[in-house]
Chain A
Amino acid sequence: SQTIHQWPATLVQPVGSPLSLECTVEGTSNPNLYWYRQAAGRGLQLLFYSVGIGQISSEVPQNLSASRPQDRQFILSSKKLLLSDSGFYLCAWMWGGTSSYEQYFGPGTRLTVT
């Protein structure tokens, strides 16, 4: 079976500090991978998605970047955090090349920028 991991579960970082959130998927090959953010009291916003190693599509230009160094690893980064980066960050995967939008989400990382 497939499993998706995210860490850390919670994070408190000062403004201006760097960020690295990691997501890994087990039990599948060549998945599509996604980073979403959910600000407090708001809906989910897609940040990045990837259909393969080194292939990143950005949906919203901002202070964040993403990388996919391995097939089942997806990393979300920032060089300098802003207060507005606070939120619940969710990683998701989907079968690559599929004809369905069944996405499976990880447990999330709750980031507070102070």
Chain B
Amino acid sequence: DAKTTQPPSMDCAEGRAANLPCNHSTISGNEYVYWYRQIHSQGPQYIIHGLKNNETNEMASLIITEDRKSSTLILPHATLRDTAVYYCIVRALINGGSQGNLIFGKGTKLSVKP
């Protein structure tokens, strides 16, 4: 699986958009980009995933560059409750399906400040 690179930490003002970058320059054509977050002392929470098109759900938007070598997770209006470690994970399907693990790196610690 492709390796991902994320900044170790970021700050964001409450109410502003939080833009979290992820570099995955070695991504291959069948690998998806997944985002999870982990609020302190809780289990990780799935946010969103995508292959090549931009995606949006009730939590966030995922923007993937045309060459797929990087992506950005956007929290449009960050709140204090969005303070967490955000993980960008690249993973391919195995034999057309998924069965195995997610490999969590160190992620980006996002601090939303009032």
Contact = CB atoms under 8 A, between A and B. Distances in A.
Interface of A: 32, 34, 43-44, 46, 49, 51, 57, 59, 88, 90, 92, 94, 97-108, 110
B34 A101 contact: yes
B64 to A, nearest CB: 16
A106 B41 CA distance: 11
A102 B49 contact: yes
B28 interface: no
B44 interface: yes
Interface in B54-93: 89, 91, 93
Given A46-B102, A49-B101, A99 B43 contact: no
A100 B101 contact: no
Contact of A92 (B41, B43, B93, B100): B43
Residue from A88, A90, A105 having most chain B Cβ neighbours under 10 A: A105
B8 to A, nearest CB: 12
Nearest to B105: A43
A107 B40 CA distance: 11
B101 A99 contact: no
B104 A43 contact: yes
B105 A108 contact: no
Contacts of A98: 97-98
A100 B99 contact: no
Contact of A102 (B46, B105, B107): B46
